[in-house]
Chain A
Amino acid sequence: MTPLLNLSAICKSFHGVAALEGVSFDLRAGEVHALVGENGAGKSTLIKVVTGAHRPDAGTLEVSGRVVAHNDPVAARALGIAAIYQQPALFADLSVAENIALGLERGGAWRWIDWRGRRARARSLLARIGADIDPDAEVRSLAMPEQQLVEIARALGADAKILVMDEPTASLTEREVDNLFRVIRELRLHGVGIVYISHRLDELFQIADRVTVLRDGCTVATRLITEVDHAELIRLMVGREIASVFPKQTVPLGDLVLELRNVGCRASGVNGIHLTVRAGEILGLAGLAGAGRTELARCIFGLTPADQGEIRLRAQAVSIRTPGDAVALGIAYVPEDRRRHGVILEMPVAVNTTLAILPKLTHFGFFDFRRERSLAEMFVQRLGIKTASIDAAVGDLSGGNQQKVALARWLATEPAVLILDEPTQGIDVGAKAEIHRLMGELAGRGLAILMISSELLEILGMSDRIAVLRGGTIVGTLDRADATQEKVLALALGHALSTEATPGRQIQT
């Protein structure tokens, strides 16, 4: 039988960096073919080649046995390919109904719009996946999970033969995931082929027929899902055992540095937070997406200032109204969205390094360029930042090195409290281990560290204590000694412990 979709020897590079190096992949009608790999392995690039968003440099793409010479989003849609992207590609200013319609309607620019039809169609598609969303709502006003559901509804409406799903469940609740799986099984019966990408390996065993593992832009293996188990998948993805990734050093704890008493912020939904961090301690902040972890960090750092409670630093009540206040008090925040907030991509490494200490590098009004360069050189050495020079734009570095620059900026402030928000998200294994080593070293020098992470292994491996958030507040704190994956998840999900068999948020590697 001819496969529905056949990719062979696909190559694609960006700015001289190879993202795909000869990837082959096939999809049969009526199967769910999972695609797994670490961040940066090339999954997203591969599906963008399928949907025509990227044009491959080499290799062939066949749909139902016919070679597609020229692929773009329009051509792909005509071939019956639809996709759910990892980051919803929705129009924030437009209504839900219109967002769904724009992906589906065909015809010329001068056709009349049937608004009632659009609404009805949106309503029925949303009902099919059990989503209760008003078709007239502006997408801007929707929360992330709802946007994801709109994206799914839109892809379903395409009646595609080939459906690509990139992390469709990343922010969904369990009930919504169940609904989605039910729909996927229906589609499979109708002969639709589904490419399914997920970090939640448990899901694959529920829904997938076959699995293909990508690593560093190459196909490592394609197996029947029944032939592999969890451990083997991870081994294939990582290419080595993962034991050595979290080198936690034990550090003697010092004095109390940061204390939050009943802190809350109405604007961002954080409330009633009590926590303490001591010098040398790493406090892990766990919780599901949307539980309020980043919001708490933004609150401490003055981005959305607290309007309730008291923040105390070294036993002194402090007022933090702006990020500037926080920096002056010795609080540093390495944000989650590195590319948008953590660094300025267009600016050189040196400039990024000193951006938080501009006042300190000013003498009699003038900026000390020499000191900037020596500082930057020092951090490039100390953190092992791989860059052509300190004058290279940060945008030219790899993700891991960008993160190190973001870290360097905050280490340059010589902070007392360091807040790390998803410090290793989207960077490769090697850089990840280095950042973990660094965290240990910093704690050893007496920094109080707050670490937000969605990776349970990272949380469990790095933290001295773990505070779990749900609904904008801390629902429990666990000591390193008695923290387990199950306990953290139970708190995060708000379930009684023993009953929960399939955790919502699983291991990411």
Chain B
Amino acid sequence: MSPPASPNPDRSRGRRVLGTHDLILVVLLAIEVAVFSSYVDTFRTVENGFEVLRYSVVVGLLALVMTPVIVTGGIDLSVGSLLGLSAVVLGRTWRDLGVPIYLAAVVTVGVGLLAGGLNGLFITRLRIPPLIVTLATFSLFRGLAEGLSPGTSTFPPLPEAFTFLGQGYVFGIIPTQLLLFPFAVVGVWLLLHRTAIGRAWYAIGFSAEAARYAGIPVERRLLLAYVLAGGAAGLAGVIYVSHLGEIKANSGTGYELTAITAVVLGGTSIFGGRGGVPGTLLAVVAIVVLQRGLRMADKPAEWSGILTGLLLLAAVGANQVATKLADRRTIKG
């Protein structure tokens, strides 16, 4: 019983980069930074800023590609598990097949794309709801990760050239993976907001049936969204491993929920059709700042989860109230 999506006059989905919702997130972020700076002296330093962003990269990547998926009205619960599978695939191709680690990384991203394709094919060919397909592959991918790295098997230490990707600094201060992230952001932003493919995703999110009647290749566009999500999960797996320096089958457990939370907190409607990359990005940073800030202020880490949950409720609640008020205004006027 999705409530009727009533048109929101305040936000023309034309060319504006930041909407009302995004501005609220900016304010929220400012408050977080202000509060934490007053608690912790070192909070507002450049080093810490970069460190915050380093933590954002993995979850950020997942949230980024989750955005088009949710814009089409779908969902992908499998990205966290796929991250774990990717970590294991990376380790095993490198260790057991004797492939150079960077080539293994490429293979891993390829596996991610394939896994995303599997999701996409079940969703488009068999018309099974995305929630169910990705719930199944949530289990499947994690299971494969566990199955491929039986119990106690250990991996030799990763080459330093590789961990540099996740732990090193460029120019002595910028975390390496942070150089990659902007490319991903710009890529997805352009795709979603500046191309015909992005336009098709929005149309599908509002009404897949109407999009089909407009001659849009609905199935191909949906498939692309899930393949993209898979590939990004693969890449996130590579970065995660290089950051942690370890290969573990349980890598990325629960990340899908954080990614979805970020997307929804960022103003993308879970019913599809509304939202975008800037909101997601702001929400990711807001969540990571919260986590990092609480840790630096020696507050229990759990507060961040609780606060994120409350924020999520507040965000959807405020959205609902705003739409109702807008409706009432038009009735009176």
Q: Contact residues of A with B, CB < 8 Å?
A: 13-16, 303, 322-324, 326-327, 333, 335, 340-348, 350-351, 355-356, 358-359, 361-362, 365-367, 369, 391-393, 395-396, 409
Would you call B12 and A367 a contact (CB within 8 A)?
no
B202 within 8 A of A: yes
* Majority-rule SS of A interface residues: mixed
Would you call B200 and A347 a contact (CB within 8 A)?
no
Give the residues in chain A near B125, CB-CB below 8 Å: none
Give the residues in chain B near A346, CB-CB below 8 Å: 5, 7, 206, 273-274
Selected from A13, A16, A356, A361, the residue in CB contact (under 8 A) with B215 is A356
Would you call A347 and B217 a contact (CB within 8 A)?
no
The 9 lowest CB-CB distance pairs between A and B, nearest first, are A393-B7, A358-B196, A327-B215, A391-B12, A355-B214, A341-B213, A323-B215, A362-B196, A344-B206
B97 within 8 A of A: no
Q: A341-B209, A348-B12, A348-B13 are in contact. Are A356 and B331 (CB under 8 A)?
A: no
Would you call A344 and B203 a contact (CB within 8 A)?
yes
Give the residues in chain A near B333, CB-CB below 8 Å: 16
**B195-217, CB under 8 A of A: which get 1 and which 0?**
11011101100110111111111
Residue in B207, B211, B330 with the greatest tally of chain A CB atoms within 10 Å: B207
**B174-194, CB under 8 A of A: which get 1 and which 0?**
000000000000000010001
A-B contact pairs, 9 of them (CB 8 A): A14-B331, A324-B215, A324-B216, A335-B213, A346-B5, A346-B7, A348-B14, A358-B199, A396-B7
| Whole-angstrom CA separation of A367 from B195 in the bound complex | 5
Give the residues in chain B near A343, CB-CB below 8 Å: 210
Would you call A340 and B210 a contact (CB within 8 A)?
yes
Give the residues in chain A near B216, CB-CB below 8 Å: 323-324, 355, 358
Residue in A335, A347, A361 with the greatest tally of chain B CB atoms within 10 Å: A347
Q: A15-B327, A16-B333 are in contact. Are A347 and B214 (CB under 8 A)?
A: no
B208 nearest CB across to chain A (Å): 10
Q: A347-B203, A348-B14, A391-B14 are in contact. Are A322 and B217 (CB under 8 A)?
A: yes
| Whole-angstrom CA separation of A323 from B213 in the bound complex | 7
Give the residues in chain B near A392, CB-CB below 8 Å: 7, 9
A332 nearest CB across to chain B (Å): 9
Nearest A-chain residue to B12, judged by Cβ: A391
| Whole-angstrom CA separation of A486 from B333 in the bound complex | 49
Q: A15-B331, A16-B333, A395-B7 are in contact. Are A409 and B195 (CB under 8 A)?
A: no
| Whole-angstrom CA separation of A344 from B14 in the bound complex | 15
A365 nearest CB across to chain B (Å): 6
Residue in A333, A350, A351 with the greatest tally of chain B CB atoms within 10 Å: A351
Give the residues in chain B near A393, CB-CB below 8 Å: 7, 9
| Whole-angstrom CA separation of A344 from B200 in the bound complex | 12
Give the residues in chain A near B210, CB-CB below 8 Å: 340-344
Give the residues in chain B near A358, CB-CB below 8 Å: 196, 199-200, 216
Give the residues in chain A near B215, CB-CB below 8 Å: 322-324, 326-327, 356
Would you call A409 and B14 a contact (CB within 8 A)?
no
Selected from A342, A355, A361, the residue in CB contact (under 8 A) with B211 is A355
Give the residues in chain A near B217, CB-CB below 8 Å: 322, 324
B213 nearest CB across to chain A (Å): 4
Give the residues in chain A near B14, CB-CB below 8 Å: 348, 350, 369, 391
| Whole-angstrom CA separation of A369 from B16 in the bound complex | 12
B228 nearest CB across to chain A (Å): 15
Selected from B9, B195, B214, the residue in CB contact (under 8 A) with A365 is B195
Selected from A347, A356, A362, the residue in CB contact (under 8 A) with B13 is A347
Selected from B5, B196, B199, B331, the residue in CB contact (under 8 A) with A13 is B331
Give the residues in chain B near A342, CB-CB below 8 Å: 210, 213
Give the residues in chain B near A16, CB-CB below 8 Å: 330-333
B202 nearest CB across to chain A (Å): 7
| Whole-angstrom CA separation of A351 from B205 in the bound complex | 14
Q: A15-B331, A346-B206 are in contact. Are A367 and B199 (CB under 8 A)?
A: yes
Give the residues in chain B near A350, CB-CB below 8 Å: 14
| Whole-angstrom CA separation of A15 from B331 in the bound complex | 4
Would you call B214 and A409 a contact (CB within 8 A)?
yes
Give the residues in chain A near B273, CB-CB below 8 Å: 346-347
| Whole-angstrom CA separation of A108 from B333 in the bound complex | 42
| Whole-angstrom CA separation of A172 from B267 in the bound complex | 47
Would you call A15 and B330 a contact (CB within 8 A)?
yes
Nearest A-chain residue to B190, judged by Cβ: A366
B272 nearest CB across to chain A (Å): 10
